[in-house]
Amino acid sequence: MDKVLITGTTSGLGASLSRVYESNCSVHSISRNKPDHYYWDVHRDCDLANLNQVERAIKCACETNYYKYVFLNAGILGQLAESSNLDTPHYKAAFDINVWSNKIIIDELLKTKTVENIICISSGAASKGYYGWSIYCATKAAIKQLMSCYAIENPEVNFLSLAPGLVKTKMQNEIQQYDERDIPSVKKFKEAYETMQTPDECAKKIYKHLDSILEQKQDFFDLRNL
């Protein structure tokens, strides 16, 4: 049975990916919390903001396993505000989770030769800036470019940054709390909220199309282009 490793499985897309893949794969997870109802064969508690914990968790995960798919799903939005009003510590927390924790995981997977496909959940914000979104845009751009470099350097492994489109998750709930008079770019997210895909819908789409997307050997793919 193929093994799948997913980060950030407590809720949202990570939990939904766990549900769809558990039907025919052994699902392993790394996340801070484990809900009462879970779908994993192996779960490792880990605060992905704590890089020492991340290092220990991924070393343990790679000891006796080989993963067909690794989903780097965990991520945070960070504060939305004008860049000049944000101090360096605001960025550090997001970079630790959105970038450096992923780098630690990737490096151990490559070192131990325990992975076939690495899929990082990305965003349109990786390629385009938005008013007040500098933390999220910077971290998503950084991990997207990092994934591209890894792909060039390690052709034996498939690296894919996968943008799922708008998904009704806790992150979207955070966005809804901002006043569009302060952050004008949140207006379109508020208007689109009721028609956003659910995490389950998105996970099923990924499950259905992922192999064909990987066959295209692209380093970035937007699910909205299906």
Q: With 90 as the cut, is the pLDDT of residue 35 above it? A: no
DSSP string across 73-123: --------B-GGG--HHHHHHHHIIIIIHHHHHHHHHHHHT-EEEEEEE--
pLDDT tens for 153-209 read 999 999 999 999 999 999 999 999 999 999 999 999 999 999 999 999 999 999 999
pLDDT tens for 134-144 read 999 999 999 99
Which one-letter amino acid corresponds to residue 167? V
pLDDT tens for 76-88 read 999 999 999 999 9
Tell me what pLDDT residue 43 has. Answer: 87
Structural domains of the chain ordered from first start: 3-167+199-221 (3.40.50.720)
Q: With 90 as the cut, is the pLDDT of residue 39 above it? A: no
- Strands ordered across the beta sheet of 220-222: 42-45, 26-31, 3-7, 67-72, 115-121, 158-163, 220-222
Q: With 90 as the cut, is the pLDDT of residue 40 above it? A: no
Q: Where are the alpha helices (DSSP H) in the chain?
A: 12-21, 51-62, 88-95, 101-112, 134-153, 170-176, 187-192, 199-215
